Amino acid sequence: MTLDRRLIAEGFGTCWLVLGGCGAAIFAGDKIGFEGVSLAFGLTVMTMAYAVGHISGCHLNPAVTVGLVAAKKFDAKDAPLYIAAQVAGALAGALLIFAILKLGVDDFSVDQTNGFAANGVGAPAAKGHPAFLNVGGAFLVEMLLTFFFLFVILGSTHERAPAGFAPIAIGLCLTLIHLISIPLTNTSVNPARSTSQALFAGGDYLKELLLFWLAPVVGGALAGLVYPTIAEKK
């Protein structure tokens, strides 16, 4: 598959992840709860894995791309373009959410959305959320959960894994990750998704964005280094 088509697939898939996952949180979070939002994120990845996995690999996440490079499962020279496509797709998804609300709600402002599903740390009263972790805990949980996410991705797509089931395992893993950490950081494990929402939410969310790049990328890279040492045949 040509690189341009793979990049389009990555952008389209990441747009769907943001529209489906963050859209569920913004449009229906008060009705479906964080359990429903968790499922929405898992379903976006599972459905898009079946739709574009055979085209681009369906990374949809800079941390996944970095982890696959570390595991020697993806060409490093294509990684910057993949990451750019993911960020662009995420921004398109956030823009679609904004446009729906702007066109459909009188006198709409982002302030009405309790952070536009952005990720955050500390100062829970300022975020309107009861349990956001401070920086150290937020970094650790985001790094650990991204590590396990990449571990599941590498394992379920391994040549010796049962064929055809990887999207289900990956989608359910992302659902579980959100069930764990929505109350803690609003769950990133994906720098593209964090960037798109922070740009609309502004304020402290933008100031804290670096954490939601560093922690997932570190976790993804570590999983990419660790998993092959366990999975390789002796």
Instruction: Give the distance from CA 130 to its chain's centroid.
Output: 22
Q: How far apart are CA 57 and CA 226, in angstroms?
A: 21
Domain hosting 31: range is 3-231
Q: How far apart are CA 153 and CA 13, in angstroms?
A: 16
Q: What is the mean pLDDT of the chain?
A: 94
Q: How many domains does the chain have?
A: 1
Mean pLDDT of all residues in 74-88: 98
Q: How far apart are CA 226 and CA 215, in angstroms?
A: 16
Contact indicator for 180, 205 with CB cutoff of 8 Å: no
Q: Per-residue pLDDT for 233 more than 90?
A: no
Q: How confident is the model over 173-196, as pLDDT tens digits?
A: 999 999 999 999 999 999 999 999
Mean pLDDT of all residues in 74-98: 98
Q: How confident is the model over 136-149, as pLDDT tens digits?
A: 999 999 999 999 99
Q: Which position has the higher pLDDT, 34 or 234?
A: 34
Instruction: Output the six-digit token pair for 95.
Output: 């823009």
Q: How confident is the model over 107-139, as pLDDT tens digits?
A: 999 989 989 999 999 865 445 555 689 999 999
Q: How far apart are CA 83 and CA 87, in angstroms?
A: 6
pTM of the shown model? 0.95
- b/e code 79-94 from CB counts within 10 Å (16+ = b): beebbebbbbbbbbbb
Q: How far apart are CA 37 and CA 31, in angstroms?
A: 10
**So what's the pLDDT on residue 70?**
98
Q: What is the CATH number of the domain that holds 217?
A: 1.20.1080.10
